[in-house]
Chain A
Amino acid sequence: MSYSKPKFRHPDLPKNELGLSKTDYEGAISTLCAGCGHDSISAAILNACFEMSIEPHRVAKLSGIGCSSKSPAYFLGKSHGFNSVHGRMPSVATGANLANRDLIYIGISGDGDTASIGVGQFMHVVRRNLDMLYMVENNGCYGLTKGQDSATSDLGSATKKGRPNMYEPIDLVALALRLGATFVARSFSGDKKQLEPLIKAAITHKGFALIDVISPCVTFNNTATSTKGYEYIRSHADNMEVDFVPMREEICTSYKAGTTQQVCMHDGSSVHLHKTAADFDIHDRQAAMEAVYDHKKEGRILTGLLYMAHDSEDLHKVLDTVPKPLNALREDELCPGSRFLNSINEGLR
């Protein structure tokens, strides 16, 4: 692995609409293992943000604890980041989002962080429909503590340690669908063609957007006996091709050639789904759940955009907060002053 970034960059690097090049979206150098799926996901986020011309400082990155949760340091170095405590990123993200609704919130978690220690917080942030992209970098094992099984590890799947996992896995996609998540997708770190448009769509989505990304652990869980290794995923995934078409390029009217479904986003951009592995309506929660289960029964993994709600109302809508970010309210908007205190005193006599 490399331990420093090159100082010299090509002067003619492509620029986006903001006049920024990809280097403006880079973070610190990754300290994850060479070949780690998580680094591919970081790259996909970087590319998505670059192509969407998102101002890096308008993004806030949040994470819990674990290999996955270290990764926000490795992209968008001009964004604020918050590496919180194990399994508790959803609550920190909730508070952050309530304080300033104008930023884009990207939460990075892992399968231990989300499906075990943080499963309670995960379930409740889904219920709150917090406006955020929630990425699970799912490798079926605990990396930093050297390869223990996680709660998403399939029954019978074996890591480098050799002992097959004894317990039923938690399927985060199925869980999120069940809990009323308004945007649910599954992808694979090795499929950036699919992952990048999914990230763009998830960022555009108004509400909670889950992308469960299978992200092989090259060190502990990339064995022939593992169901989260590169080889297994490549041979067992049924991939739905996804395109994200920004609003400015096309108003949500015409289908692209080969598209079987087109999904309009609230801001006028759209997602095009090609060669859908399962023939179901993307707005039908029940159908999505069935498709996930049917594939699992066949020993297959369905990837792509699985569900998106037509009428997503995020937490700010539910709480009826003012359009202005709460952290920007001035003292005179917050403190009622002595006048009201006198009337309150009067009521207490």
Chain B
Amino acid sequence: MIIYIIRRLLYTIPIVFGVLLLTFVLFTLVGGDISIEIAGKGASAATINEIRQEYGLNKPLFLSWDSQFVNHFKSALTFDFGRARDREPVIDKIKRGAGPSLALMVPIFVGTIIISVSLALIIAFLRGTVWDSLTVIICVAGMSIPYLSFILFGQYFLAYKWGLSPVFFSPDLSMAQYTALPILIGIVTGLGGEVRFYRTVMLDEMRSDYVRTAFAKGLSTRRVLFKHVLKNAMIPIITRVVLAIPFLFLGSLLLERFFGIPGLGYLMIEAIGSRDYFVINAMTYISAILFVIFNVITDICYAWVDPRVSFD
């Protein structure tokens, strides 16, 4: 088991290397020198030079121990991403944004899983009835409504029109006050796809031989569902759940933007607006690292839940 974990960890090295290579190509080679943009219109050559110096953009691209290529790797491995365009260290911005993002995303995440898995179980119980088809129709319709419309109409009616919640974030509100509506919207938007996914998972399990055996033994439907099906459906559920966790870090770009919550999604949108490659680069890298780590955790979870998974 230990050897399996170590091997799995070693396997992440090329992926991290790949991500760093990709971000280097994107932001340094393709993105190019943005010092002129940072300096603003009509800046003197001296100012531009100063900015180049400050961000290390005047160094050679490759072939030197102090090249941009080497520095890109160095900064990523030490988690020191330099300064953003407004001269604040990128890592400070990210640390500051992580709290509000998590406060928003963790309830959405947990709420969506609990509601969608239990709904899917109920539907597997009622399979073939009108309720089943009705739920599928609602799910498909829900998946087809654009995310932006959910947010905008939710904000418009619930917050602006009926005043059930503050429209925008403001620092003197408590966390529960300003996150309640975004959380509700986040959960509702996700439900369509999630319920449908878990329903398929449950129904796939319902078709397997052990379920037939269980029914043949005379077990009640409820017992078969909760005792057998749910346990066996855990593998796809775990995969989906664990692999979704790193995406929580990013927060919900759009929800945060609409409600003005100063999280990482908001930071990202701001960075896109001002073409702040330094921030986007750091966010890309950190989320990839998280994804890789959680991927390893999923594999270990697999080995732990499913005795059929071998450690080779």
Whether chains A and B associate is no
A-side interface residues toward B, CB under 8 Å? Answer: none
